[in-house]
Structure 1
Amino acid sequence: MPETALPSRRSLAARMDALPFTRRHLRVLTGSGVGWALDAMDVGLISFIIAVLAEQWSLTPGERGWIASIGFVGMAVGAALGGLLADRLGRRQVFALTLLVYGVATGASALVGGLAMLLVLRFFVGLGLGAELPVASTYVSEFAPARIRGRLIVILEAFWAVGWTAAALIGYFVIPTSADGWRWAFALGAVPAVYALVVRWGLPESPRWLASRGRIAKAERIVESFEASAGLVNSPAIHKEGVRETLTRTSSGRVRALWAAEFRVRTACIWLVWFCVNFSYYGAFIWIPSILVAAGYDLVKSFGFTLLITLAQLPGYAVAAWLIEVWGRRLTLSVFLVGSAVSAISFGTATGDGAVIASGMALSFFNLGAWGALYAVTPEIYPTSLRATGTGWAAGVGRIASIIAPLLVPVLLGAGGAPLTFVVLAVFFVVAAGAAWGLVDRRGEALDDR
């Protein structure tokens, strides 16, 4: 069939937006979500492993901070590079590669005998993990029908709670069982290396990305498969709509385009939100098991409290998934960030088991709901040719904060204990809530396919 007879890129996008939610959508969502959960499991496990290695290896607070932070150095690099590669090579290819990199590095961490090699491997874990998350959210957003796109991305982010809960269960039931429990935890983290094969051959490429690269025929076949899944055979194509040119095809051009007049305000605001949310989230959740141990709870009890706190993530995602299509992106994001600020102050000043658990669960509820809204809004504010790059660079800037926070928290704890630490984290949440209002809210609107 000659190229002139093929459907235009915009018509393909319109057909994707008009689809009901199908089993093909569910496959994309769950396929990406499992990868997301495995990522969360790895990040969650390190918070428990740090608490154990602090005793086994007699680590200083600075060394413990570096175990957490070196992974985030890799995540900062990975997020920026992963977005650029996904806009150039495709969403699915990069998604699978990132799972392979961090899965192999996590499995190898089970064999380390000292701090230096663990830090090297944690960097590579971060490299893969940092690239995977923004690519996965971009990937799912490009399949999701416009009217439920935000909700599906929040559901995708909810897989993070599944992974973090798995980490908490491993931390509670596996790590304390023997001196080598932390090694078994790392070994379980190697599962993503195997799952990468499922992603590579089991999921389709984004038809929006294929069309942006001129591969219209392949994009058409994928769209037709989704229409067939919905019982819509031979859906008519809209030939009269022309294709809007992509903004740029070079990596350096994509980065510069993020700061063009059209995008500079939203780029500045999304980078600020990502920075502040990363700082507060990782400043709190990486250190919660260690903070509880320092407060006098034994290792098993602190891990049990952390498990209960983690369980509040799922209802946080559920509420955010509902509100994001009712209130919109900006209002939902800002409300959950303000709730996170209030909860952080409550947790930092809590006394007694009940207050610690209740305020920790509130922090978990609001903070993870905010993450869901943030991942939903970020891919939507950029056109297809910049989407993964814009999402990846925003995540990369955020990872700078996740490097700083685990190193700064011990200093804050030493200066003013948990109350000072969590007041500082609350301030970052409030700043993020304000910056959210500089973003574009595309609730129910088609994605920009330039």
Structure 2
Amino acid sequence: MEEKNASEIIARLDRLPVWSLPATFIAVLGTGFLFTFFDIFDINVSFIQTALTTFGVSSPSSPEIPQLLGPVVLWNLVGYVIGALALTPLADRYGRKRMLMITMAITGLGSLYNAVSPDYLNYLLARTITGIGVGADLAIVNTYINEVSPVNGRAKFTSLVFLFATLGAFLGLWLGLLITTPPAPFPLGLPFALGTTGIFATSGWRIMYGIGSLLALIGLLLRVELPESPRWLASKGRIMEASKIVERMEEAA
């Protein structure tokens, strides 16, 4: 009987012709992606200042910079793999919503750790932690969207969320140019860049990661409003909970 009820829940979900959750939930998921891609791209411009002010590198053209950057990028990507393999399966056990909040918290804490890193080893560890959260979050967000989207619109709604990802990448790059680089004629730089002014001259890169952790906090708070995936609830035999969510979706549709 329980298996039959679960099948009915899934059938009702599959009959929904349109996105049937509040439209703001697209933005809620998108805010998480905005932070995720902000964090991926913020290192591209800001790392030179990090190396000069914190790692003891003497010149922006020093060959030490790519030597230091290589392991950071590598272990950030290793974190992706660890997060995807170790944390993503936990979404099958503990639920999509709970893990979406945990992965965003891990990513935000990693970014905050980056902001206060006193040396290279701590910075490297912080980027690895951030990568663990990012790798898991990317996979679980896509799973969640596929489970709550209408059958004929899953690609479209996944694409909408990725629009926020491009915004995060844009913000990470251009904010880095603004607050971590010296003024330079466009297109070599920004004439109004602040990278040699006041606190930005030594801590612009820390501010970048601080902004990232703030974006993660906003994404985490917004995700509190997300409902659990009815498909996951049905798979766990929590039929009443799944049915209530599907009823609200049917009314919206």
TM over 0.5: yes
- Conservation of the 8 A alpha-carbon contact between 1:36 and 1:160: yes
Q: Give CA deviations for 1:52-104 in whole Å, capped at 9, x if unaligned.
A: 33444323422111122211111110011122101111111001001111101
Residue matched to 1:127? 132
Residues 1:109 and 2:109 aligned together? no
Residues 1:212 and 2:235 aligned together? yes
- Conservation of the 8 A alpha-carbon contact between 1:45 and 1:167: yes
Give 1:41 shift.
0.4
Q: Give CA deviations for 1:214-249 in whole Å, capped at 9, x if unaligned.
A: 11111000001111222xxxxxxxxxxxxxxxxxxx
Looking at structure 2, the residues matched to 179 and 210 of structure 1 have their Cα atoms a distance apart, in angstroms, of: 49
Distance 1:224 1:41, change over 3 A: same
Give, as a single letter, the amino acid of the residue that structure 1 aligns with 2:170: T
Give 1:23 shift.
6.0
Residue matched to 1:362? none
Residues 1:47 and 2:52 aligned together? no
Say which SS state the counterpart of residue 18 (structure 2) adopts.
coil
Residue matched to 1:162? 167
The one of 66, 69, 78 equivalent to 2:74 is 69
Residue matched to 1:79? 84
Give, as a single letter, the amino acid of the residue that structure 1 aligns with 2:146: S
Say which SS state the counterpart of residue 202 (structure 1) adopts.
coil
- Conservation of the 8 A alpha-carbon contact between 2:17 and 2:152: no
Looking at structure 2, the residues matched to 67 and 102 of structure 1 have their Cα atoms a distance apart, in angstroms, of: 16
The one of 30, 34, 37 equivalent to 2:27 is 30
Residue matched to 2:217? 193
Say which SS state the counterpart of residue 23 (structure 2) adopts.
helix
The one of 148, 153, 156 equivalent to 1:148 is 153
Give, as a single letter, the amino acid of the residue that structure 1 aligns with 2:85: A
Residue matched to 2:143? 138
Residue matched to 2:207? 184
Residue matched to 2:226? 203
- Conservation of the 8 A alpha-carbon contact between 1:82 and 1:135: no
Give, as a single letter, the amino acid of the residue that structure 2 aligns with 1:42: D
Looking at structure 2, the residues matched to 146 and 194 of structure 1 have their Cα atoms a distance apart, in angstroms, of: 30
Residues 1:15 and 2:12 aligned together? yes
Q: Which runs of 5+ in 2 are unaligned?
A: 58-63, 182-193, 195-200
Residue matched to 1:256? none
- Give me the TM-score of the superposition, normalised by structure 2: 0.83
Residue matched to 2:244? 221
Distance 1:7 1:24, change over 3 A: farther
Number of equivalent positions: 226
Q: Does 1 or 2 have the higher relative contact order (CA < 8 Å, sep 6+)?
A: 2
Q: Give CA deviations for 1:177-206 in whole Å, capped at 9, x if unaligned.
A: 22211111010011213431331x200000
- Conservation of the 8 A alpha-carbon contact between 1:137 and 1:156: no
Give 1:21 shift.
2.8
- Conservation of the 8 A alpha-carbon contact between 2:20 and 2:250: no
Looking at structure 2, the residues matched to 158 and 82 of structure 1 have their Cα atoms a distance apart, in angstroms, of: 25
Say which SS state the counterpart of residue 189 (structure 1) adopts.
helix
Give, as a single letter, the amino acid of the residue that structure 1 aligns with 2:219: Y
Give 1:22 shift.
4.3
Give 1:117 shift.
0.8
Q: Give CA deviations for 1:112-158 in whole Å, capped at 9, x if unaligned.
A: 22101101111111111111110000001100111111111122222
Looking at structure 1, the residues matched to 125 and 171 of structure 2 have their Cα atoms a distance apart, in angstroms, of: 25
Say which SS state the counterpart of residue 73 (structure 1) adopts.
helix
- Give me the TM-score of the superposition, normalised by structure 1: 0.48
Distance 1:53 1:46, change over 3 A: same
Looking at structure 2, the residues matched to 72 and 22 of structure 1 have their Cα atoms a distance apart, in angstroms, of: 33
Looking at structure 1, the residues matched to 149 and 91 of structure 2 have their Cα atoms a distance apart, in angstroms, of: 18
Q: Give CA deviations for 1:289-331 in whole Å, capped at 9, x if unaligned.
A: xxxxxxxxxxxxxxxxxxxxxxxxxxxxxxxxxxxxxxxxxxx
Sequence identity percentage: 28
Looking at structure 1, the residues matched to 117 and 87 of structure 2 have their Cα atoms a distance apart, in angstroms, of: 27
In the TM superposition, 1:297-316 aligns within 5 A as none
Looking at structure 1, the residues matched to 81 and 69 of structure 2 have their Cα atoms a distance apart, in angstroms, of: 19
Give, as a single letter, the amino acid of the residue that structure 2 aligns with 1:37: L
- Conservation of the 8 A alpha-carbon contact between 2:14 and 2:150: yes
Looking at structure 2, the residues matched to 196 and 212 of structure 1 have their Cα atoms a distance apart, in angstroms, of: 25
Give, as a single letter, the amino acid of the residue that structure 2 aligns with 1:190: S
Q: Give CA deviations for 1:393-433 in whole Å, capped at 9, x if unaligned.
A: xxxxxxxxxxxxxxxxxxxxxxxxxxxxxxxxxxxxxxxxx
Report the RMSD for the aligned CA atoms in angstroms: 1.9
